[in-house]
Amino acid sequence: MKKITQLFGFALLLTATLVVLSILGLILFDIVLKGAPVFNWKFLTHFPQKGMTEGGIFPAIFGTTLVTLISTVFAMPLGIGCAVYLNEYAPDNKFTRLIRASVRNLAGVPSIVYGLFGLSIFIQGMGIPPSLLTAGCTLGLLTLPFIIATTEEALRNVPRLTREGALALGATRWECVYSVVLPSAVPGILTGLILALSRAAGETAPILFTGVALYTRYLPASPLDEFMALPYHLYILSTQHHAIEQVRPLAYATAMTLLLVVFLLNFTAFRIRATYKR
């Protein structure tokens, strides 16, 4: 009897897994099937032409890369600094717990809210024009709670004995954190950072009001220029374009590119984790 229940349970779990996998596979298959015909080197390296009905998506790739980089430059020091403070310095009291809970909650805030927040702070508040900079900072805010959480986890995983080893040699707390704890935590921090990047690269809502453009004739020349981005371009091609049916293959190829970027980032994170796991 027990055996039968177990078998039944196993079959159920297996079915669930297979269903999920086949849905995923179906989506991927569909995208690749419809996108592949126009997905080529020219598509990746050229500007859109004739009202986006032809040509490539180079400016969108360029813009997404830059805006993601800016978001990292903005969020990395803040996030790591905050995590180091919380994990290494903050006393274990109500206030610290409140900060931690807030950070966790921030991770659950819908991304459109970040977009509006970025709009009101960076653009209306500070008067910076909608641009790579403002969009990058907004995306940075979005990934911040995620970076803080993964960095804290990586720091927590550094053995107590390693810290004590440094302190017992007469290291100050900062010397211990800086020269022993942080280097030990680098693989974990890096993994979290890249996963955060891949999330930022795929977001549309936060950049919607903060700098992304429907179409730009030139590549952004400074951080204060507007830019094109992959997820937004995809959104335009698939819902807002005047000749939707005609641009369908382009939309699919754009989706393919975006997936590829996200996949590459995740794969890198995976490799880093695998390399450093002992």
User: CA triplet 139, 86, 169: central angle to 5 degrees?
Assistant: 125
Cβ proximity to another protein, 91 vs 108, nearer residue: 91
Q: Record the tokens describing residue 250, joined without a space.
A: 């382009």
Least Å distance, CB 272 to another protein, is 15
Judged by the rule CB under 8 A, the positions of this chain that interact with another protein are: 91-92, 159, 161-162, 164-172, 175, 179-180, 183-184, 278
In 3D, which of 72, 41, 47, 71 has the Cα closest to residue 228? 47
Least Å distance, CB 162 to another protein, is 6
Cβ proximity to another protein, 87 vs 138, nearer residue: 87
Cβ proximity to another protein, 51 vs 159, nearer residue: 159
Least Å distance, CB 2 to another protein, is 41
CA distance 217 to 59: 9
Q: Which helix (H) or strand (E) holds 40?
A: none
Residue 49's DSSP bridge partners are: 54
Cβ proximity to another protein, 174 vs 267, nearer residue: 174
Cβ proximity to another protein, 1 vs 168, nearer residue: 168
Buried b / exposed e over 78-103, threshold 16 CB at 10 Å, is: ebbebbbebbbeeeeeeeeeeebeeb
Least Å distance, CB 189 to another protein, is 14
Least Å distance, CB 147 to another protein, is 22
* 32 close to 256: Cβ distance less than 8 angstroms: yes
CA distance 122 to 139: 12
Q: Record the tokens describing residue 241, joined without a space.
A: 């374009």
Residue 55's DSSP bridge partners are: 48
